[in-house]
Protein backbone atom coordinates (compact mmCIF):
# COMPACT_ATOMS: atom_id res chain seq x y z
CA UNK A 1 0.00 0.00 0.00
CA UNK A 2 1.40 3.40 -0.94
CA UNK A 3 1.52 5.84 1.94
CA UNK A 4 0.41 9.36 1.05
CA UNK A 5 1.56 12.01 3.47
CA UNK A 6 0.27 15.49 4.04
CA UNK A 7 3.15 17.11 2.13
CA UNK A 8 2.40 15.02 -1.00
CA UNK A 9 -1.27 16.01 -0.93
CA UNK A 10 -0.39 19.71 -0.57
CA UNK A 11 2.19 19.53 -3.37
CA UNK A 12 -0.07 17.65 -5.77
CA UNK A 13 -3.06 19.88 -5.10
CA UNK A 14 -0.93 23.02 -5.36
CA UNK A 15 0.43 21.86 -8.71
CA UNK A 16 -3.04 21.03 -10.01
CA UNK A 17 -4.35 24.41 -8.83
CA UNK A 18 -1.52 26.27 -10.56
CA UNK A 19 -2.09 24.32 -13.77
CA UNK A 20 -5.80 25.11 -13.66
CA UNK A 21 -5.04 28.80 -13.06
CA UNK A 22 -2.65 28.93 -16.03
CA UNK A 23 -5.18 27.16 -18.23
CA UNK A 24 -7.89 29.59 -17.19
CA UNK A 25 -5.65 32.59 -17.93
CA UNK A 26 -4.59 31.34 -21.33
CA UNK A 27 -7.96 30.93 -22.97
CA UNK A 28 -11.06 33.03 -22.53
CA UNK A 29 -14.43 31.46 -22.95
CA UNK A 30 -14.20 28.08 -24.56
CA UNK A 31 -17.62 28.14 -26.06
CA UNK A 32 -17.26 31.41 -27.85
CA UNK A 33 -13.66 31.64 -28.88
CA UNK A 34 -13.12 31.94 -32.57
CA UNK A 35 -12.31 34.14 -35.47
CA UNK A 36 -14.03 37.46 -34.88
CA UNK A 37 -12.83 39.08 -38.09
CA UNK A 38 -13.80 36.68 -40.83
CA UNK A 39 -16.37 34.63 -38.96
CA UNK A 40 -15.08 31.49 -40.57
CA UNK A 41 -14.44 29.50 -37.41
CA UNK A 42 -15.41 29.17 -33.77
CA UNK A 43 -18.35 28.07 -31.71
CA UNK A 44 -21.74 29.67 -31.37
CA UNK A 45 -24.44 29.09 -28.81
CA UNK A 46 -27.90 30.17 -29.90
CA UNK A 47 -31.12 30.52 -27.89
CA UNK A 48 -34.50 29.85 -29.54
CA UNK A 49 -38.06 29.31 -28.32
CA UNK A 50 -39.72 25.96 -28.60
CA UNK A 51 -43.49 26.19 -28.79
CA UNK A 52 -44.44 28.16 -31.89
CA UNK A 53 -43.20 29.08 -35.37
CA UNK A 54 -40.12 27.09 -36.46
CA UNK A 55 -39.91 23.76 -34.65
CA UNK A 56 -36.80 22.36 -33.01
CA UNK A 57 -36.50 19.98 -35.97
CA UNK A 58 -36.67 22.92 -38.43
CA UNK A 59 -33.94 24.83 -36.57
CA UNK A 60 -31.77 21.72 -36.37
CA UNK A 61 -32.05 21.24 -40.15
CA UNK A 62 -31.38 24.94 -40.84
CA UNK A 63 -28.34 24.76 -38.56
CA UNK A 64 -27.10 21.61 -40.28
CA UNK A 65 -27.25 23.30 -43.67
CA UNK A 66 -25.32 26.27 -42.21
CA UNK A 67 -22.57 24.13 -40.69
CA UNK A 68 -22.30 22.12 -43.92
CA UNK A 69 -21.53 25.36 -45.75
CA UNK A 70 -19.35 26.65 -42.87
CA UNK A 71 -17.51 23.63 -41.49
CA UNK A 72 -15.28 25.79 -39.29
CA UNK A 73 -18.22 27.01 -37.22
CA UNK A 74 -19.88 24.81 -34.63
CA UNK A 75 -23.38 25.81 -33.54
CA UNK A 76 -25.16 24.66 -30.39
CA UNK A 77 -28.86 25.61 -30.42
CA UNK A 78 -30.89 25.65 -27.20
CA UNK A 79 -34.66 25.93 -26.85
CA UNK A 80 -36.82 27.34 -24.07
CA UNK A 81 -40.52 28.11 -23.71
CA UNK A 82 -41.50 31.61 -24.85
CA UNK A 83 -42.43 32.51 -21.26
CA UNK A 84 -38.82 31.85 -20.17
CA UNK A 85 -37.07 33.37 -23.18
CA UNK A 86 -36.76 37.00 -22.05
CA UNK A 87 -35.56 36.17 -18.56
CA UNK A 88 -33.03 33.66 -19.86
CA UNK A 89 -31.58 36.29 -22.19
CA UNK A 90 -31.34 38.71 -19.27
CA UNK A 91 -29.78 36.17 -16.88
CA UNK A 92 -27.25 35.02 -19.49
CA UNK A 93 -26.42 38.54 -20.70
CA UNK A 94 -23.56 39.48 -18.34
CA UNK A 95 -21.76 36.15 -18.84
CA UNK A 96 -22.15 36.26 -22.63
CA UNK A 97 -23.43 32.69 -22.56
CA UNK A 98 -25.23 33.02 -25.89
CA UNK A 99 -23.92 34.49 -29.13
CA UNK A 100 -27.31 34.54 -30.85
CA UNK A 101 -30.70 35.10 -29.22
CA UNK A 102 -34.24 35.21 -30.54
CA UNK A 103 -36.11 38.32 -29.41
CA UNK A 104 -39.77 39.29 -29.56
CA UNK A 105 -40.96 42.44 -31.34
CA UNK A 106 -41.58 44.06 -27.93
CA UNK A 107 -37.96 43.79 -26.71
CA UNK A 108 -35.63 45.71 -29.09
CA UNK A 109 -36.14 48.93 -27.10
CA UNK A 110 -35.23 47.25 -23.80
CA UNK A 111 -32.30 45.16 -25.01
CA UNK A 112 -31.06 47.82 -27.43
CA UNK A 113 -31.11 50.66 -24.90
CA UNK A 114 -29.34 48.49 -22.31
CA UNK A 115 -26.74 47.46 -24.89
CA UNK A 116 -27.42 43.76 -24.47
CA UNK A 117 -27.63 43.15 -28.21
CA UNK A 118 -25.40 44.44 -30.98
CA UNK A 119 -26.36 47.24 -33.35
CA UNK A 120 -25.99 45.56 -36.75
CA UNK A 121 -27.31 48.46 -38.86
CA UNK A 122 -23.96 48.65 -40.65
CA UNK A 123 -24.17 45.01 -41.70
CA UNK A 124 -27.64 45.24 -43.25
CA UNK A 125 -27.50 45.20 -47.05
CA UNK A 126 -29.48 48.22 -48.32
CA UNK A 127 -31.94 46.07 -50.27
CA UNK A 128 -33.15 44.19 -47.17
CA UNK A 129 -35.12 47.25 -46.09
CA UNK A 130 -37.16 47.25 -49.27
CA UNK A 131 -37.36 43.49 -49.73
CA UNK A 132 -38.59 42.69 -46.23
CA UNK A 133 -42.13 43.34 -45.03
CA UNK A 134 -42.37 46.62 -43.07
CA UNK A 135 -43.87 44.83 -40.07
CA UNK A 136 -40.92 42.46 -40.03
CA UNK A 137 -38.39 45.28 -39.79
CA UNK A 138 -40.17 46.58 -36.67
CA UNK A 139 -39.10 43.41 -34.86
CA UNK A 140 -35.44 44.45 -34.93
CA UNK A 141 -35.61 48.23 -35.01
CA UNK A 142 -35.36 50.74 -32.19
CA UNK A 143 -34.34 54.38 -32.27
CA UNK A 144 -33.49 54.16 -35.99
CA UNK A 145 -31.00 51.37 -35.35
CA UNK A 146 -31.27 47.74 -36.35
CA UNK A 147 -30.46 45.29 -33.56
CA UNK A 148 -30.91 42.05 -35.45
CA UNK A 149 -32.49 40.44 -38.48
CA UNK A 150 -36.23 39.60 -38.63
CA UNK A 151 -36.87 35.87 -38.74
CA UNK A 152 -40.45 35.11 -37.71
CA UNK A 153 -43.31 36.99 -39.32
CA UNK A 154 -46.52 36.27 -37.56
CA UNK A 155 -49.88 37.57 -36.52
CA UNK A 156 -53.04 36.04 -35.14
CA UNK A 157 -55.55 34.59 -37.60
CA UNK A 158 -59.11 33.42 -37.10
CA UNK A 159 -59.46 29.63 -37.10
CA UNK A 160 -62.90 28.17 -37.68
CA UNK A 161 -64.42 24.76 -37.27
CA UNK A 162 -66.40 24.60 -40.51
CA UNK A 163 -68.38 21.55 -39.42
CA UNK A 164 -69.67 23.39 -36.35
CA UNK A 165 -70.64 26.37 -38.51
CA UNK A 166 -72.50 24.10 -40.95
CA UNK A 167 -74.40 22.32 -38.21
CA UNK A 168 -75.35 25.61 -36.58
CA UNK A 169 -76.27 27.07 -39.96
CA UNK A 170 -73.99 30.05 -39.32
CA UNK A 171 -72.94 31.85 -42.46
CA UNK A 172 -69.11 31.88 -42.69
CA UNK A 173 -69.32 35.37 -44.20
CA UNK A 174 -70.60 36.70 -40.89
CA UNK A 175 -67.12 36.09 -39.58
CA UNK A 176 -65.80 38.96 -41.65
CA UNK A 177 -66.62 41.36 -38.80
CA UNK A 178 -66.34 41.11 -35.01
CA UNK A 179 -70.07 41.88 -34.78
CA UNK A 180 -70.81 39.01 -37.16
CA UNK A 181 -68.44 36.77 -35.23
CA UNK A 182 -70.48 37.44 -32.11
CA UNK A 183 -73.66 36.59 -34.05
CA UNK A 184 -72.08 33.32 -35.23
CA UNK A 185 -71.03 32.45 -31.68
CA UNK A 186 -74.57 33.01 -30.42
CA UNK A 187 -75.94 30.80 -33.20
CA UNK A 188 -73.39 28.10 -32.38
CA UNK A 189 -74.29 28.19 -28.71
CA UNK A 190 -78.06 28.11 -29.37
CA UNK A 191 -77.68 25.14 -31.69
CA UNK A 192 -75.92 23.20 -28.95
CA UNK A 193 -73.13 22.09 -31.27
CA UNK A 194 -70.61 23.34 -28.75
CA UNK A 195 -70.92 24.62 -25.20
CA UNK A 196 -68.49 27.50 -25.59
CA UNK A 197 -67.88 28.66 -29.19
CA UNK A 198 -64.85 30.77 -28.18
CA UNK A 199 -61.69 30.01 -26.27
CA UNK A 200 -58.93 32.63 -26.04
CA UNK A 201 -55.40 32.91 -24.65
CA UNK A 202 -56.39 35.33 -21.87
CA UNK A 203 -54.08 34.05 -19.12
CA UNK A 204 -52.18 36.80 -17.29
CA UNK A 205 -49.37 36.77 -19.83
CA UNK A 206 -48.30 38.55 -23.01
CA UNK A 207 -50.73 36.35 -24.96
CA UNK A 208 -53.60 38.32 -23.40
CA UNK A 209 -52.16 41.63 -24.61
CA UNK A 210 -51.84 40.15 -28.12
CA UNK A 211 -55.53 39.21 -28.28
CA UNK A 212 -56.53 42.56 -26.77
CA UNK A 213 -54.32 44.41 -29.30
CA UNK A 214 -56.14 42.78 -32.18
CA UNK A 215 -59.58 43.84 -30.88
CA UNK A 216 -58.35 47.28 -29.77
CA UNK A 217 -56.97 47.93 -33.26
CA UNK A 218 -60.15 46.80 -34.98
CA UNK A 219 -62.31 49.02 -32.77
CA UNK A 220 -60.19 52.11 -33.37
CA UNK A 221 -58.26 52.13 -30.10
CA UNK A 222 -54.61 52.92 -29.59
CA UNK A 223 -52.08 51.87 -26.97
CA UNK A 224 -50.42 55.29 -26.97
CA UNK A 225 -51.39 58.64 -28.45
CA UNK A 226 -49.10 60.74 -30.64
CA UNK A 227 -47.46 62.33 -27.60
CA UNK A 228 -46.54 58.90 -26.20
CA UNK A 229 -49.14 58.92 -23.42
CA UNK A 230 -51.39 55.97 -22.70
CA UNK A 231 -54.57 56.02 -24.80
CA UNK A 232 -55.99 52.53 -24.36
CA UNK A 233 -58.44 53.77 -21.74
CA UNK A 234 -60.56 55.63 -24.27
CA UNK A 235 -62.74 54.75 -27.26
CA UNK A 236 -61.83 51.50 -28.97
CA UNK A 237 -59.59 50.34 -26.13
CA UNK A 238 -62.52 50.33 -23.70
CA UNK A 239 -64.96 48.93 -26.28
CA UNK A 240 -62.59 46.05 -27.00
CA UNK A 241 -62.39 45.08 -23.32
CA UNK A 242 -66.15 45.43 -22.87
CA UNK A 243 -66.64 43.15 -25.88
CA UNK A 244 -64.29 40.58 -24.36
CA UNK A 245 -66.02 40.66 -20.98
CA UNK A 246 -69.48 40.44 -22.56
CA UNK A 247 -68.59 37.20 -24.33
CA UNK A 248 -67.80 35.70 -20.92
CA UNK A 249 -71.03 37.02 -19.38
CA UNK A 250 -73.05 35.63 -22.32
CA UNK A 251 -71.47 32.21 -21.94
CA UNK A 252 -69.89 32.38 -25.40
CA UNK A 253 -66.30 32.34 -24.15
CA UNK A 254 -64.98 29.31 -22.33
CA UNK A 255 -64.27 30.46 -18.75
CA UNK A 256 -60.99 28.53 -18.92
CA UNK A 257 -59.79 31.29 -21.26
CA UNK A 258 -58.48 33.39 -18.37
CA UNK A 259 -56.08 30.56 -17.55
CA UNK A 260 -55.19 29.61 -21.11
CA UNK A 261 -52.23 30.25 -23.36
CA UNK A 262 -52.07 29.61 -27.11
CA UNK A 263 -51.21 25.93 -26.60
CA UNK A 264 -54.37 25.47 -24.49
CA UNK A 265 -56.45 27.19 -27.17
CA UNK A 266 -54.97 24.83 -29.74
CA UNK A 267 -55.70 21.78 -27.58
CA UNK A 268 -59.36 22.69 -27.01
CA UNK A 269 -59.93 23.63 -30.66
CA UNK A 270 -58.30 20.43 -31.88
CA UNK A 271 -60.53 18.43 -29.56
CA UNK A 272 -63.56 19.97 -31.28
CA UNK A 273 -64.58 21.82 -28.11
CA UNK A 274 -64.39 25.31 -29.61
CA UNK A 275 -65.53 26.68 -32.95
CA UNK A 276 -63.85 30.08 -33.38
CA UNK A 277 -60.39 30.92 -32.04
CA UNK A 278 -57.50 33.29 -32.62
CA UNK A 279 -54.02 31.81 -32.90
CA UNK A 280 -50.69 32.11 -34.66
CA UNK A 281 -49.81 30.60 -38.06
CA UNK A 282 -48.40 27.38 -36.64
CA UNK A 283 -51.83 26.21 -35.51
CA UNK A 284 -52.97 25.56 -39.06
CA UNK A 285 -50.23 22.97 -39.59
CA UNK A 286 -51.02 21.38 -36.22
CA UNK A 287 -54.77 21.45 -36.90
CA UNK A 288 -54.25 19.32 -39.98
CA UNK A 289 -52.12 16.73 -38.26
CA UNK A 290 -54.30 13.69 -37.66
CA UNK A 291 -52.00 12.49 -34.88
CA UNK A 292 -52.89 15.41 -32.62
CA UNK A 293 -56.16 16.77 -34.03
CA UNK A 294 -59.72 15.45 -34.09
CA UNK A 295 -61.00 18.06 -36.55
CA UNK A 296 -58.66 17.49 -39.49
CA UNK A 297 -60.22 18.71 -42.74
CA UNK A 298 -62.75 20.83 -40.89
CA UNK A 299 -60.49 23.78 -40.18
CA UNK A 300 -60.56 27.02 -42.08
CA UNK A 301 -58.24 29.95 -41.53
CA UNK A 302 -59.26 33.54 -42.19
CA UNK A 303 -58.07 37.07 -41.65
CA UNK A 304 -58.92 38.55 -38.29
CA UNK A 305 -62.46 40.06 -38.39
CA UNK A 306 -63.08 43.70 -39.18
CA UNK A 307 -64.10 46.25 -36.58
CA UNK A 308 -65.27 49.83 -36.99
CA UNK A 309 -61.90 50.97 -38.37
CA UNK A 310 -60.34 47.91 -39.97
CA UNK A 311 -58.80 44.56 -39.16
CA UNK A 312 -55.22 45.00 -37.98
CA UNK A 313 -53.46 41.87 -36.78
CA UNK A 314 -51.11 42.05 -33.83
CA UNK A 315 -47.48 42.15 -34.91
CA UNK A 316 -46.05 38.93 -33.47
CA UNK A 317 -42.75 38.99 -35.31
CA UNK A 318 -39.43 37.98 -33.82
CA UNK A 319 -35.83 38.68 -34.77
CA UNK A 320 -32.47 36.98 -34.35
CA UNK A 321 -29.81 39.11 -32.69
CA UNK A 322 -26.12 38.92 -31.90
CA UNK A 323 -25.54 39.48 -28.19
CA UNK A 324 -23.24 42.24 -27.02
CA UNK A 325 -21.32 39.66 -24.99
CA UNK A 326 -20.59 37.37 -27.94
CA UNK A 327 -16.90 36.78 -28.58
CA UNK A 328 -17.69 35.55 -32.06
CA UNK A 329 -19.79 38.32 -33.55
CA UNK A 330 -18.87 37.80 -37.19
CA UNK A 331 -19.70 34.08 -37.16
CA UNK A 332 -22.88 34.81 -35.19
CA UNK A 333 -24.07 37.33 -37.79
CA UNK A 334 -23.19 34.87 -40.55
CA UNK A 335 -25.37 32.26 -38.85
CA UNK A 336 -28.25 34.73 -38.47
CA UNK A 337 -27.94 35.76 -42.12
CA UNK A 338 -28.24 32.11 -43.14
CA UNK A 339 -31.31 31.39 -41.02
CA UNK A 340 -33.10 34.55 -42.15
CA UNK A 341 -32.19 34.18 -45.83
CA UNK A 342 -35.13 33.97 -48.22
CA UNK A 343 -34.37 30.47 -49.59
CA UNK A 344 -33.95 29.02 -46.09
CA UNK A 345 -37.13 30.62 -44.75
CA UNK A 346 -39.17 29.50 -47.76
CA UNK A 347 -38.27 25.86 -47.09
CA UNK A 348 -40.01 25.99 -43.72
CA UNK A 349 -43.00 28.19 -44.58
CA UNK A 350 -45.43 25.64 -43.13
CA UNK A 351 -44.09 26.41 -39.64
CA UNK A 352 -43.54 30.13 -40.02
CA UNK A 353 -44.06 32.52 -42.89
CA UNK A 354 -41.06 34.34 -44.39
CA UNK A 355 -40.17 37.95 -43.69
CA UNK A 356 -39.53 38.52 -47.42
CA UNK A 357 -42.33 40.24 -49.38
CA UNK A 358 -41.81 38.36 -52.65
CA UNK A 359 -42.02 34.97 -50.92
CA UNK A 360 -45.80 35.37 -50.74
CA UNK A 361 -46.01 35.15 -54.55
CA UNK A 362 -43.72 32.13 -54.85
CA UNK A 363 -45.57 28.97 -55.87
CA UNK A 364 -43.30 26.87 -53.69
CA UNK A 365 -44.27 28.90 -50.62
CA UNK A 366 -47.97 28.99 -51.47
CA UNK A 367 -47.90 25.21 -51.94
CA UNK A 368 -46.46 24.63 -48.44
CA UNK A 369 -49.39 26.40 -46.84
CA UNK A 370 -52.04 27.21 -49.48
CA UNK A 371 -54.70 28.03 -46.90
CA UNK A 372 -52.64 30.48 -44.88
CA UNK A 373 -50.36 32.25 -47.37
CA UNK A 374 -53.13 34.14 -49.26
CA UNK A 375 -54.62 35.27 -45.94
CA UNK A 376 -51.19 36.23 -44.65
CA UNK A 377 -50.42 38.27 -47.73
CA UNK A 378 -53.40 40.48 -46.92
CA UNK A 379 -53.06 40.41 -43.14
CA UNK A 380 -49.36 41.15 -42.86
CA UNK A 381 -49.86 44.47 -44.63
CA UNK A 382 -51.97 45.68 -41.75
CA UNK A 383 -50.40 45.13 -38.34
CA UNK A 384 -50.73 46.80 -34.97
CA UNK A 385 -47.54 47.23 -32.99
CA UNK A 386 -47.46 47.07 -29.22
CA UNK A 387 -45.58 50.04 -27.66
CA UNK A 388 -41.86 50.08 -28.38
CA UNK A 389 -40.90 51.16 -24.88
CA UNK A 390 -37.80 50.42 -22.77
CA UNK A 391 -40.04 49.44 -19.88
CA UNK A 392 -42.52 47.50 -22.02
CA UNK A 393 -42.51 44.45 -19.76
CA UNK A 394 -43.59 46.44 -16.71
CA UNK A 395 -46.17 48.27 -18.87
CA UNK A 396 -47.52 44.95 -20.08
CA UNK A 397 -47.68 43.44 -16.57
CA UNK A 398 -49.83 46.35 -15.40
CA UNK A 399 -52.11 46.05 -18.41
CA UNK A 400 -52.42 42.26 -18.09
CA UNK A 401 -53.47 42.49 -14.44
CA UNK A 402 -56.11 45.14 -15.11
CA UNK A 403 -57.43 43.37 -18.22
CA UNK A 404 -57.93 40.31 -16.05
CA UNK A 405 -59.66 42.37 -13.36
CA UNK A 406 -62.21 43.40 -15.99
CA UNK A 407 -62.50 39.95 -17.56
CA UNK A 408 -63.16 38.37 -14.16
CA UNK A 409 -65.79 41.02 -13.39
CA UNK A 410 -63.81 42.53 -10.52
CA UNK A 411 -63.81 45.96 -12.18
CA UNK A 412 -65.69 47.64 -15.01
CA UNK A 413 -63.66 47.90 -18.22
CA UNK A 414 -63.31 51.69 -18.00
CA UNK A 415 -62.18 51.60 -14.36
CA UNK A 416 -59.71 48.78 -15.01
CA UNK A 417 -58.17 50.57 -17.98
CA UNK A 418 -58.04 53.92 -16.14
CA UNK A 419 -56.19 52.21 -13.29
CA UNK A 420 -53.82 50.58 -15.77
CA UNK A 421 -53.29 53.92 -17.52
CA UNK A 422 -52.33 55.66 -14.25
CA UNK A 423 -49.63 53.09 -13.52
CA UNK A 424 -48.50 52.69 -17.14
CA UNK A 425 -48.02 56.43 -17.70
CA UNK A 426 -45.62 56.66 -14.79
CA UNK A 427 -43.75 53.59 -16.06
CA UNK A 428 -43.36 55.10 -19.52
CA UNK A 429 -41.92 58.28 -17.99
CA UNK A 430 -39.41 56.45 -15.79
If one asks whether residue 99 binds another protein (CB under 8 A), the answer comes out as no
Residue 205 engages another protein in binding (rule: CB under 8 A): yes
Q: Is 154 in the site for another protein (CB under 8 A)?
A: no
Interface residue with another protein among 8, 13, 143, 246 (CB under 8 A) is 13
Is residue 270 within the footprint of another protein (CB under 8 A)?
no
- Is the Cα torsion angle 81, 86, 90, 93 positive or negative in sign? positive
Residue 90 in the binding site for another protein (CB under 8 A): yes
Residue (119 or 381) nearer to another protein, CB:
119
Among 76, 171, 190, 259, binds another protein (CB under 8 A): 259
CB nearer another protein, residue 6 or residue 291: 6
Question: Smaller CB distance to another protein: residue 54 or 111?
Answer: 111
Which residues ranging from 212 to 231 are in contact with another protein (CB under 8 A)? none
Candidates 12, 28, 38, 114: give the one binding another protein (CB under 8 A): 114
**Residue from the set 394, 414, 418, 425 that interacts with another protein by CB under 8 A:** 394
Using CA atoms, how far apart are residues 253 and 275, in angstroms rounded to an integer?
10
Q: Which is nearer to another protein, 115 or 229 (CB)?
A: 115
Residue 93 or 135: which CB sits closer to another protein?
93
| Half-sphere exposure (Cβ direction) of 286: Cα atoms closer than 13 Å | 24
Among 161, 233, 258, 304, which residue interacts with another protein (rule: CB under 8 A)? 258
Q: How far is CA 177 from CA 60, 173, 182, 407, in A?
A: 40, 8, 9, 22
Which of 9/22 has CB closer to another protein? 9
Q: Can residue 378 be called a binding residue for another protein (CB under 8 A)?
A: no
Alpha carbons 51 and 316: distance in angstroms, whole number? 14
Is 414 near another protein (CB under 8 A)?
no
Q: What is the 3-state secondary structure (H, E, C) of the chain?
A: CCCCCHHHHHHHHHHHHHHHHHHHHHCCCHHHCECCCCCCCEEEEEEEECCCCCCHHHHHHHHHHHHHHCCCEEEEEEEECHHHHHHHHHHHCCCCCCCEEEEECCCHHHHHHCCCECCCHHHCCCCHHHHECHHHHCCCEECCEECCEEEEECCCEEEEEHHHHHHCCCCHHHHHEHHHHHHHHHHHHHHCCCCCCECCCCCCCHHHHHHHHHHHHHCCCCCECCCCCECCCCCHHHHHHHHHHHHHHCCCECHHHHHCCHHHHHHHHHCCCCCEEEECCHHHHHHCCCCCCCCCCCEEEECCCECCCCCCEECCCEEEEEECCCCCHHHHHHHHHHHHCHHHHHHCCCCCECCEHHHHHCHHHHHHCCCCHHHHHHHCCCEECCCCCCCHHHHHHHHHHHHHHHHCCCCCHHHHHHHHHHHHHHHHHC
Binds another protein by CB under 8 A, chosen from 397, 399, 413, 424 = 397
Applying CB under 8 A, does 93 fall inside the site for another protein? yes
Tell me the window of 30-38, 82-90, 180-188, 298-306 that interacts with another protein (CB under 8 A). Answer: 82-90
273 or 303: CB nearest another protein: 273
254 makes contact with another protein (CB under 8 A): yes
Is 256 a binding residue for another protein by CB under 8 A? The answer is: yes
Question: Beta strands 73-80 and 42-49: pairing type?
Answer: parallel
| Residue (145 or 410) nearer to another protein, CB | 410
What is the x/- site pattern for another protein, positions 39-78, by CB under 8 A?
Answer: ----------------------------------------
Residue 326 engages another protein in binding (rule: CB under 8 A): no
Residue 18 as a binder of another protein (CB under 8 A): the answer is no
Q: Count residues binding another protein (CB under 8 A).
A: 39
Q: Which whole-number Å values give the CA distances from 293 to 81, 299, 410, in the listed order?
A: 22, 10, 36
Q: Does 367 bind another protein (CB under 8 A)?
A: no
**Is residue 405 involved in binding another protein (CB under 8 A)?**
yes
203 binds another protein (CB under 8 A): yes
Q: How far is the CB of 10 from another protein (least distance, A)?
A: 6
- CB-based burial of residue 300 (10 Å sphere; 0-12 exposed, 13-18 middle, 19+ buried)? middle
Closer residue to another protein (CB): 131 or 418: 418
Q: What residues make contact with another protein under the rule CB under 8 A?
A: 6, 9-10, 13, 83, 86-87, 90-91, 93-94, 110, 114-116, 203-205, 254-256, 258-260, 264, 267-268, 273, 324, 391, 393-394, 397, 400-401, 404-405, 408, 410
Amino acid sequence: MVAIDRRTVLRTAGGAGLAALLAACSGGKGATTGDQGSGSSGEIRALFMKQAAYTEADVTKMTASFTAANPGIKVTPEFVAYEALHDKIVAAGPAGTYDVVLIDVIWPAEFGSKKMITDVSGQWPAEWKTEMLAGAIDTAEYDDKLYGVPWIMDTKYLFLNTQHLDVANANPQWLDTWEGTLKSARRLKQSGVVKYPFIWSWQQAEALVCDYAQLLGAMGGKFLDDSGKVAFNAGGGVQALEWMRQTIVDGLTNPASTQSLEADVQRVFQAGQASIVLNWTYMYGAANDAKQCKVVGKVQVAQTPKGSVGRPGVNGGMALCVTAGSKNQAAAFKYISHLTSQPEQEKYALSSLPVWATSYDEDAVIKTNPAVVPQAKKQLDDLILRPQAKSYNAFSQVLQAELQNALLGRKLAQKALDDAADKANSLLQS
